[in-house]
Structure 1
């Protein structure tokens, strides 16, 4: 597990979650090492992996934000920025402050995460998660 406080906050995600709402399936988060969290995604017929951590270019300091890259079975490579403040998880599509984002709230016992993806122009969909292991 990471000793980076911002990355450590994402430990609440570790485990397998059943996803309902706009997409149905499961996601599993696990620590890769002290620096990265891996998410395995299986939503409907779509699957992929996401690697979450601080970007650190060769011989540079780690980046300020917790970012990720998703690799999908359709060849897509999507970037995200993660943040947990209190019981609220925000995942921006791209950089922090993007108009496309997910925002959800953890239950007191961390067994559910209820929220929605919001897209510019009023689009989006509900995306809820229930911990299954």
Structure 2
């Protein structure tokens, strides 16, 4: 397993989660290798995959932030930045500090994640997850 503490923190996501709130469905996280986590997404009839890890361009050092790219069955490619600090998961749409973000808190046993997506126009929606396997 990775020796990168920030990536290792993402191990709390590994498994299958039932998502409720603004979108309904399931997501499954699994390690691809020591450097990348894959999320399989099945929400509201949409399907996609997301690859999460440190960005490392040719001949460069790994990025300071943990980045991801989502590939949707509608052709969308969306970029995110991940951080777990304590029991709080933050996922920014695009770069760290973006006004569009998800923030959720893990239960003490890490079997649920309660949070919401926040949008800069004041919109957003609840998005909660319950571990099912």
- What band does the TM-score fall into relative to the shorter chain? over 0.9
Give the match's secondary structure for 1:96: coil
Give the match's secondary structure for 2:121: helix
**Residue of structure 1 in register with 2:37 after alignment:** 37
Q: Which runs of 5+ in 1 are unaligned?
A: none
Aligned residues: 133
Cα RMSD for the two superposed structures: 0.4
Task: Give yes or no for the alignment of 1:90 onto 2:70.
Answer: no
CA distance in structure 2 between the aligned counterparts of 1:45 and 1:12, rounded to whole angstroms: 26
**Residue of structure 1 in register with 2:23 after alignment:** 23
After superposition, give the CA deviation of every residue in 1:1-49 in whole Å (9 maximum; x if it has no partner): 3211101000000000000000000000000000000000000210000
After superposition, give the CA deviation of every residue in 1:46-75 in whole Å (9 maximum; x if it has no partner): 000000000000011000000000000000
Misfit runs of 4+, over 4 Å: none
CA distance in structure 2 between the aligned counterparts of 1:103 and 1:60, rounded to whole angstroms: 30
CA distance in structure 1 between the aligned counterparts of 2:102 and 2:44, rounded to whole angstroms: 19
CA distance in structure 1 between the aligned counterparts of 2:33 and 2:54, rounded to whole angstroms: 13
Compute the TM-score of the two structures, normalised by the length of structure 2: 0.99
CA distance in structure 1 between the aligned counterparts of 2:106 and 2:5, rounded to whole angstroms: 18
**Residue of structure 2 in register with 1:61 after alignment:** 61
